[in-house]
Structure 1
Amino acid sequence: MSQTSLARVAVDSIELSARTAGDREHPALVLLHGWPHSSALYDGVLEALAADRFVIAFDLPAIGASRGLPPSAEKTVLADIVLRGAESLGARGIAIAGLDVGGMIAFAAARDHADRIVGAVVMNTVIPGVDPWTKVVADPRIWHFAFHAVPELPEAMVSGRERRYFDYFIDILSGDARKIDEPMREAFAAAYARPEALQAGFDWYRAFEKDAERNSKPRTIATPMLYVRGEADAGKISDYVRGLERAGAVDVEQATLPGGEFSPLEAPDEFVAILRRFCARIARSSARP
């Protein structure tokens, strides 16, 4: 079984931290967390995924052990940053998979940086500007999207109370909150304990308007894509897949996993199996003459 290690890589003024596993000669799988997570989200699945992949799980810019705020929190900018980081680590044949905000970044990679990746996995999220975005943000249960987008106020309210605030979302968004254990909850809270990190997380929401403006303009997205949702998540997966197709995706498959929005923790075996199947499919496709 592959051993995990820590890596650091500079992208302009940003220093990215990543957990890595696997042979660098293998095709790469880049894993991105969302809010309020860190790369620790993937600790339990890295080694299994590294059987035939060079796996890189980044802390997004300014989160966890990464340092430096990005020039913009727009997801296309973040996609460029993490892809540059992966390329600097020697990644090739990159498949990118993201959960929550990380899924928005994976979509941006497929839409705007297609020549640098071979596949994208979008998990447990809605894409700004892509159906059913308007319906989702109008749902009063998604109140935090608007709150987090307010300048400065969320930082003032949440700073020093990260653990209590994050626990609320972990408990309501997971299918079985017991599977997000105490050490993992502490790791997530610690990843945002610095003012820069907390701002970076809320800035993701502040950029949604610009993300939506970009994504609402359909363009052909030829990159193979997998859309994944937890069985406990609200909404029909077919609505999200149709939205991706209307946005221009021409090769989209779908899958559901047990649990809610914390698939690597709630259903690790199934999570690994689905990602490995997708990676195998895109490998077969790229090998065809």
Structure 2
Amino acid sequence: MNAHSAAATGDGPGGARISHGRAWIDQDAGVRIGYTLAEPPPLPEGAAPKTVVLIHGAPQTRHAWRKVLAPLAQAGYRVIAPDYRGAGASTKPRDGYDKWTMAADLHVLVHDHLGVQGPVSVVGHDLGSMLAFGYALRYRDGVVSLTTMEAPLPGTDYYEQRKVAKSAWHFDFHAHPDIAVHLTHGRERWYITRFFDDLTYQPDAITDADVDVYARAFQAPGAMRALCEIYRELDHDARIHRDAIAADGKLPVPVLASGGATQALAVNYQGMCEEIADDVTGHLVEDAGHWVPEENPEGFVRMFLDFDHRARTA
């Protein structure tokens, strides 16, 4: 760990070592990224840990992965769960919310700050899937596998169809930051709670204490505007991603198209991912709504470990 960040370390379940820190990504621009690192128990001599990067969605922070960090570490993974630019413990600059730039933040965190060598597995949920997709396109030689969950990916035909649906009203709402920030100011907790209420299948999966964590994050100065800027960039992201595929072809790595099995939209994800890669596996997680790693963490872990093992041994 470099001199720009101090981390508190503790033992997690099963011998996983869990630490937290903040990394300078661009000191001139004042960009720091908060993260959690879960490292596996000591491995057999000669064995090296695999690395997986977990990218949260909205309106959330890296807290969304709290239930899966230790199980993945126990399975031999070095687990990196960042707050992306604009969220949680990360700084909230005025710009830089296209997924190409946000992907560069995470690449610096993983390889320059944390010193990871070799390719990584990338997992995204919700908006995090859009960022994970951008990361895989920009750093395609440094990715083992891509797991996407619960999001239309900018650059696909499905994204163009989904963004204009009535149920996707928040895409347009958030794309007008002045209006959205003004109308949600002082009501952040109420506003984000409606997404949990509407999209959760397991009602006890996200507790009042968890909502407190998320509400505090989005009550922070600049946080709602940063969320809106992420949405405002999505059509720009779509153009960048289409150009990347036109220039370099589809992703060469295995892609997992996933979502909660109780969500009606989940049936669209495999076809969407076949637009961006030839090697696509579809797997819906039972007993889960939109918030997959929180509603059925055991199901998520089983699914990911099986998929990523096949991707790494193919």
Q: With structure 2 as the length reference, what TM-score do the two structures score?
A: 0.85
> 3-state SS of the aligned residue for 1:177?
coil
1:11-90 to structure 2, matched below 5 A, reads: 11-12=25-26, 13-23=30-40, 25-51=48-74, 52-69=76-93, 71-87=95-111, 88-90=113-115
Deviation per residue, 1:248-269 (Å, 9 max, x gap): x121111101211111111010
Identity over aligned pairs, percent? 28
Return the letter of the residue paired with 2:89: A
List runs of 5+ in structure 1 lacking aligned partners.
none
Residue among 14, 17, 20 paired with 1:3: 17
Conserved 8 A contact 2:259-2:266: no
Total equivalences in the alignment: 283
The answer to whether structure 1 residue 255 and structure 2 residue 280 are counterparts is no
1:255 and 1:58 map into 2 onto residues whose CA distance is 25
Q: Which has the larger radius of gyration?
A: 2
CA contact (8 A) 2:54 2:82 kept: yes
Structure 2: where are the runs of 5+ without partners? 1-13, 42-47
C-alpha displacement at 1:134, in angstroms? Answer: 2.4
Instruction: Report SS of the residue matched to 1:201.
Output: helix
Return closer, same or farther for 1:126/1:89 CA change in 2, 3 Å cut-off.
same
1:145 maps to 2:171: yes
- After superposition, the Cα gap between the structure-2 partners of 1:211 and 1:85, relative to the gap in structure 1 and judged at 3 Å, is same
Separation in structure 1 between the aligned mates of residue 70 and residue 170 of structure 2, nearest angstrom: 34
Following superposition, which runs of at least 4 residues in structure 1 exceed 4 angstroms of deviation?
A: none
2:313 is paired with a residue of what secondary structure?
Answer: helix
Query: Which piece of structure 1 moves more, 48-57 or 92-101?
Result: 92-101
Q: Which residue of 2 aligns with 1:194?
A: 220
Distance in structure 2 (CA, Å) of the matches to 1:7 and 1:195: 20
Amino acid of the residue matched to residue 256 of structure 2? L
How well do the aligned residues superpose, as a CA RMSD in angstroms?
1.7
Give 2:259's aligned amino acid: R
Q: CA deviation at 1:211?
A: 1.1
Aligned pairs (5 A) from 1:122-133? 122-133=148-159
Q: 2:266, 2:126 → 1: CA distance?
A: 16
User: Does 2:119 align with 1:91?
Assistant: no
Q: Is the 1:257–1:263 contact (alpha carbons within 8 Å) kept by the matching residues of 2? A: yes
Report what 1:226 is aligned to.
Answer: 256
Deviation string, structure 1 residues 254-286 (Cα, Å, up to 9, x no partner):
11012111111110100111111122122213x
Give the alignment of 1:142-181 within 5 angstroms: 142-181=168-207
2:34 counterpart SS class: strand
Higher relative contact order (CA 8 A, sep 6+): 1
Distance (Å, rounded) in 2 between the aligned partners of 1:57 and 1:48: 14
Alpha-carbon separation, structure 1, partners of 2:231 and 2:241: 15
SS of structure 2 residue aligned to 1:11: strand
Q: Does the 8 Å CA contact 2:85/2:97 hold for their aligned counterparts?
A: no
Aligned mates of 2:87, 2:189 — CA distance in 1 = 15
